[in-house]
Amino acid sequence: MHAGYGEAARRLEIARRMPEKNDFGIVFLVIGLFLVFLGLGMFIPAAVDAAIDNPDWQVFVVCACFVTFIGGLLFLLNRGDYSEISIRQGFLITLSTWVAIPLFGALPFVYSDLDLSYTDAFFEAMSGVTTTGSTVITGLDGLPPGILLWRSLLQWIGGGGIIVMGVAILPMLKVGGMQLFKIAAFDVSENFIPRSVKLALSLSFLYIGLTMICALMLWLAGMTAFEAACHAFTTLSTGGYSTSDGSIGHFDSAVIDYVLSFFMLLGSLPFILYLKVLKGQPMGLLRDSQVRWYLLMLGVVIGALTLWLWTGGRFEFDDALRYTTFNVISVITTTGFATMDYTSWGMLSVAVFFFIMFIGGCTGSTSGGIKIFRFQIMFGVLKSQIKRLLWPNGVSVVRYNGRTINHSAVESVFIFVFLYLAGVMLLALALTLTGLDFVTALSGAGTAMSNVGPGVGILIGPAGNFRDLPDMAIWLLSFGMLLGRLELFAVLVLFSPQFWRS
């Protein structure tokens, strides 16, 4: 009798320690769902290739069928009565989805005429989905349209995914800083789920609409309809894949540069604030302190670099303004388009571009990087510390957007920035061990973690390519991109034993 109770208790304890079947079942189910749509998405480049009689359409059709089949299988095999998903499962789903999409999205790159190794193909797909924009492919100008479109679509899907995730999922996981945007439409304290779906839908609608308008304006500015569509996909998503090896420099058009600059900027602002503008608050964007800081900083950097290039006699004023506006916006929004090799402008520009790649855009946008709001909060803390030194008995609080920020939010910002910089250093160190020089390793780590695209240096600079990097470096950079895209915590949390405890 006693032994029976002991056995039952032991079994119960084992069952308690084992991850619930549902823990993984639901993860596979959601991955399956995403893969089905990814597979269906592959039919779009297949149709484009078929329309011009390019044999690559067969590759896309086979890959599409395979991915849809695997996705469908995962979905159907794990179909069950899951009404709710826990926070723990939310983390698992978030990470596994962002790994599964490039894993399967890489297949067309492997089997097409590009003849890429799976390592390179995975890098290309991960760079796409995380909207980084680093590439291992050369000879883009001669590639079939299907492959070019697929690269662009991956970035577009990734950009859309990060906006939706940024407002619907990450705040619940306390990642990404969107919990600081306490507005009624996505207050997590009550009735969150139905509102978040509506919010996700309206943001997606806006994202799709803006992409189309961007494509139309690029078409009007002189791109072909296909080029305009591909670049619109990679501009709003702040991805940076182009249809040409010369990136946007290939078009050599001031109008195209300014149109792209405008839409890159739109992609790097909080999408949630566009809804406010649509709700009849046209100044809703500028009332946000993050947006004001961001625009001010952009103005200062662009103004200073323009003056430096102009007074240095390198360019005429209008050219200096055009090139700095485009390239600064491209790097700071973490898009990664290039019109020229800005590292050849001199050491000041190398230093400026290296540092601004870490800043990134606003939270709730498609941009990567540390994000402006974290700098604002750190600046607020600095101000508060100085006040405390001057008036030791005074009360000083840290404010953001007119609201007092609590201690845990401040703490999370500092932990994020510390982890971010530590991550860049560690990644750079690991890249150095693969045989890369220090500049390439450091800028490669920075560009991957910030999801920018080009780095600094001859090898991976704006005029370079990631193809010549060793395989180990390629995998490390892919991991860095994922870390940066998911704001570190969503990935690092899985390395904590506490996470896996029942």
Residue 191 lies near other proteins (rule: CB under 8 A): no
Please give the Cα distance from 233 to 407 (Å, whole number).
39
Helix 438-449 with 471-485: angle, nearest 10 deg: 40
Span 412-431, contacts to other proteins by CB under 8 A: 415
Q: Minimum Å distance from CB 446 to other proteins?
A: 22
Please give the Cα distance from 206 to 213 (Å, whole number).
10
Tokens matching residue 314 = 């390198």
Which amino acid belongs to residue 137? I
Write the Ramachandran bin of 435: left for phi over 0, alpha for psi from -120 to 50, otherwise beta.
Answer: left
Q: Minimum Å distance from CB 114 to other proteins?
A: 27
Q: Minimum Å distance from CB 41 to other proteins?
A: 9
Stretch that binds other proteins, among 131-139, 203-211, 246-254, 318-326 (CB under 8 A): 203-211
Q: Minimum Å distance from CB 141 to other proteins?
A: 24
Binder to other proteins among 3, 184, 389, 395 (CB under 8 A)? Answer: 184
Which amino acid belongs to residue 278? L
Please say which residue, 63 or 168, places its beta carbon nearer to other proteins. Answer: 168
Stretch that binds other proteins, among 120-128, 248-256, 479-487, 493-501 (CB under 8 A): 493-501
Please give the Cα distance from 73 to 475 (Å, whole number).
28
Stretch that binds other proteins, among 54-62, 163-171, 436-444, 445-453 (CB under 8 A): 163-171
Q: Minimum Å distance from CB 251 to other proteins?
A: 17
Three-state SS at 328: helix
* Cα 87 to Cα 166, 179, 236, 496, distances in angstroms: 15, 15, 30, 15
* Cβ atoms 443, 477 nearer than 8 A: no
Q: Minimum Å distance from CB 184 to other proteins?
A: 4
Please say which residue, 120 or 288, places its beta carbon nearer to other proteins. Answer: 288
Residue 283 lies near other proteins (rule: CB under 8 A): no
Q: Minimum Å distance from CB 383 to other proteins?
A: 22
Residue 70 lies near other proteins (rule: CB under 8 A): no
Please say which residue, 273 or 463, places its beta carbon nearer to other proteins. Answer: 273
Binder to other proteins among 43, 47, 95, 174 (CB under 8 A)? Answer: 174
Residue 37 lies near other proteins (rule: CB under 8 A): yes
Residue 492 lies near other proteins (rule: CB under 8 A): yes
Site string for other proteins, 109-148 (x = CB under 8 A): ----------------------------------------
* Cβ atoms 361, 294 nearer than 8 A: yes
* Cβ atoms 473, 434 nearer than 8 A: yes
Which sign does the torsion angle of CA 105, 108, 114, 120 carry? positive
* CA nearest neighbour of 401 among 177, 210, 133, 97: 177
E strand residue ranges, 279-322: none
Tokens matching residue 238 = 């702040």
**How many chain residues are in contact with other proteins, going by CB under 8 A?**
60
Strands 403-404 and 399-400: antiparallel
Binder to other proteins among 15, 193, 300, 386 (CB under 8 A)? Answer: 193
Please give the Cα distance from 163 to 200 (Å, whole number).
8
Residue 398 lies near other proteins (rule: CB under 8 A): no
Q: Minimum Å distance from CB 23 to other proteins?
A: 12
Residue 185 lies near other proteins (rule: CB under 8 A): yes
Please give the Cα distance from 314 to 320 (Å, whole number).
8
Residue 381 lies near other proteins (rule: CB under 8 A): no
Residue 88 lies near other proteins (rule: CB under 8 A): yes
Please say which residue, 83 or 393, places its beta carbon nearer to other proteins. Answer: 83
Stretch that binds other proteins, among 115-123, 185-193, 292-300, 369-377 (CB under 8 A): 185-193
Binder to other proteins among 212, 255, 296, 386 (CB under 8 A)? Answer: 212
Residue 169 lies near other proteins (rule: CB under 8 A): yes
C-alpha Rg value of the chain to the nearest Å: 23
Residue 48 lies near other proteins (rule: CB under 8 A): no
Please give the Cα distance from 196 to 188 (Å, whole number).
9
192 DSSP 8-state letter: H
Please say which residue, 85 or 476, places its beta carbon nearer to other proteins. Answer: 85
* Cβ atoms 203, 269 nearer than 8 A: no
* Cα 330 to Cα 53, 235, 241, 353, 367, distances in angstroms: 35, 9, 12, 10, 10
Binder to other proteins among 4, 5, 14, 83 (CB under 8 A)? Answer: 83
* Cβ atoms 132, 152 nearer than 8 A: no
Q: Minimum Å distance from CB 354 to other proteins?
A: 27
Residue 393 lies near other proteins (rule: CB under 8 A): no
Binder to other proteins among 129, 148, 275, 356 (CB under 8 A)? Answer: 275
Tokens matching residue 106 = 């890489």
Per DSSP, the residues of 120-132 read: HHHHHHHHHHTT-
Q: Which spans of this chain sit near other proteins (rule: CB under 8 A)?
A: 26, 29-30, 33-34, 37, 82-90, 160, 164, 168-169, 172-174, 183-185, 188, 192-194, 196-198, 200-202, 204-206, 208-210, 212-213, 216-217, 219-220, 275-276, 278-279, 281, 284, 411, 415, 492-493, 496, 498-499
